[in-house]
Amino acid sequence: MRVIVTCGPSFEPIDGVRRLTNFSTGELGLLLAAELSRAGHEVICMKGDGAVSHADAGGARVIGFSTNADLLAKLREFSGGDVGAVFHAAALCDYRVRSVQDHDGAVMRAQKLPSRAGELTLTLEPAPKLLPELRGIFPNAKITGWKYELDGTPAEAEAKAREQLIACGTDACVVNGAAWGAGFGFIEPSREAVKLADKPALCAFLAGWIGA
């Protein structure tokens, strides 16, 4: 089976040298890519350029990406019915920079904003969300999204994961973060959450899930 795994952070430029990004090492996606490769799948691992993990992706083909739009374009290169599963674990930016203004409100357009410009104001706008696009790109695939939640209870984190399933037309969601607690939860529609203790357990479970 051809499988796509996304991992690591995207970034959105502020200017030619500065950027907004999320904290993500990319380790989980690389471990998952290796596990899927060992299981005999043809794995394409799209890894954010800012990922710092040196985990071995096994026999997976690793492709770098930068911004949300760049990842979307690269995913579309593999569009069609021959992709059997997509694991979208990348930590993508929720916002991108619409404009940068100086203290007088004038828009600054330099490739490198001067470090002595004083106080600056960044105006952010929502960045493109990829998960809702995936069903149209990969119509026959099992698609799994991720939900990382820091605030709230495990029940509230699970509820948000289930909302994602409905909103994005995905088959499953992996939930984790402080709101969920230790380990990971695997959520499918109309089924009880499956609790996985750590990254190796999650990777082994997901490899078995797509083969079921």
Model confidence pLDDT, tens digit, residues 110-165: 889 887 878 899 999 999 899 999 999 999 999 999 999 999 999 999 999 999 99
Please answer whether residues 176 and 184 qualify as being in contact, where contact means their C-beta atoms are separated by less than 8 angstroms.
Answer: yes
Provide the strand spans (E) within the chain. Answer: 2-7, 11-13, 19-21, 42-48, 61-65, 83-88, 95-101, 121-126, 142-148, 172-176, 184-187, 194-196
Match 């002595």 to its residue by tokens. 116
- Burial class for 109, CB neighbours closer than 10 Å (0-12, 13-18, 19+): exposed
Confidence (pTM): 0.94
Reported confidence tier of residue 12, pLDDT bands at 50, 70, 90? very high
The confidence score (pLDDT) of residue 90 equals 97
Q: Distance between CA atoms of 207 and 192, rounded to whole angstroms?
A: 19
Assess whether pLDDT exceeds 90 at residue 9: yes
Report which DSSP code applies to 199. H
- What average pLDDT does this structure show over 95-101? 93
Mean pLDDT of the chain: 95
CATH ID of 2-97+125-211, from 3.40.50.10300, 2.40.110.10, 3.60.20.10, 3.40.50.300? 3.40.50.10300
Assess whether pLDDT exceeds 70 at residue 79: yes
Beta strands at 194-196 and 184-187: parallel, antiparallel or unpaired: antiparallel
Output the six-digit token pair for 136. 């149209």
The confidence score (pLDDT) of residue 212 equals 63
Assess whether pLDDT exceeds 70 at residue 84: yes
Q: Distance between CA atoms of 78 and 49, rounded to whole angstroms?
A: 19
